[in-house]
Amino acid sequence: MALAPRLQKWFPWTRAPVICNGPMLGAATPALATEVTKAGGIGFLASAFNLDPGSPQLSKLDADLTESRRLLDQASPSPPSSSPLRIGISFITGHASIARFAETALPIIAKHRPAIVWLFAPAEAEAPAPSPRPHRAIIEALRKSAEESGGTVPRVFVQVGNVAAARAAVDDGADVLVCQGVDAGGHQFRRGAGVVSLVPEVRAMLDGEFAGRDVGVLAAGGIATDKAVAAMMALEAEGIVMGTKFTVARESEYPDHRKQLILETVDGGSSTLKSPFHDQMNKSTLWGPLYDGRAIVGPIHGKFLSGSSLEDCQRSLDKDYSPEEATRMLGTWAGTGVGLVQKAQPAGEIVRELREGAKEHLRKLAGLV
């Protein structure tokens, strides 16, 4: 099957090259996701991870899906009631409550029928079967629920950072692999590859080991311009996921001081750091040993990079900075492409500009050979 038509067959509202926003905690909103979708991309709501009964995250997911449907219905005539909602949702699957997915999250999915469920960061992403793998259980639960209700099974995207994780994801039943390179902002595999090598090697793995399976491939990580989108299409990515570019979108709920910092930051290779340090400083227990994150560095990072211990940095953060300064200094997640993000735009405009610009670059490249 040709590359773009596969996604457009599954998601008929999209236009190639397909642009997606990442499901960024603290940034993605119903307004952002629906504007991306309306522009011909795939919009994602922010990830959830606490699936315990009564979780505020589940209540927010329910409310955000309701708001997304309202916004999409305002924009165009309502699709048939049997049609999936043209929005994706996401779950971080390393939290202990993921075992309650069928009990707590599945009813919300059955109620709203989102077109896509994105999964990322299981505690044992590369564990061979039959070791417990939550993604397999989630995919089976989604299929069983759809069969029992007569509905459509949502397509499952699984975010991966290396070939081993991609292989495990396909074995679990993934429809699309989000191949996230190490240039990405936010959380990612500690042992990952750059997107330029990851996408082709995952393609080769799919061709050699899963030739009979219909599995899509998206590229993510450090992509911030139309030229980068064109480059990923040349690598046979079927679509693109961007995070940093959308954090400064008009519809993003990223705090203004973080948006401003992203717009002012240059030289992403030196002004961002990929490390577990960010989560260790925040004393976050969500992300297991397989994962770290990339964020913009501040003075406290400088101390760490100069040789101060984690404990010294934690003490300094408490002693030398106000709570507001400490909050601003940590957690501005951004990829190495941050220096190419130079203006804030509406999300739909971002999608259209990137898509049309990438097509023009591909035409120019074709004329050179």
Q: Tell me whether residue 257 is one of the annotated catalytic residues.
A: no
292-296-297 Cα angle (round to 5): 95
- Residue 21's beta-bridge partner residues? 242
What's the token pair of residue 361? 């670059």
Residue appearing with tokens 């990223």:
254
Within 10 angstroms of residue 286's Cβ, the number of other Cβ atoms is 15
Q: Which of 95, 112, 187, 361 is catalytic?
A: 187
- Total residues found in the chain within this entry: 369
Residue appearing with tokens 């405009």:
349
Q: Give the contacts of 71 (CB within 8 A, at least 6 positions apart).
A: 30, 31, 34
What's the token pair of residue 202? 């995952």
Phi, psi of 274, deg, nearest 5 = -95, 110
Residues identified as active-site: 187
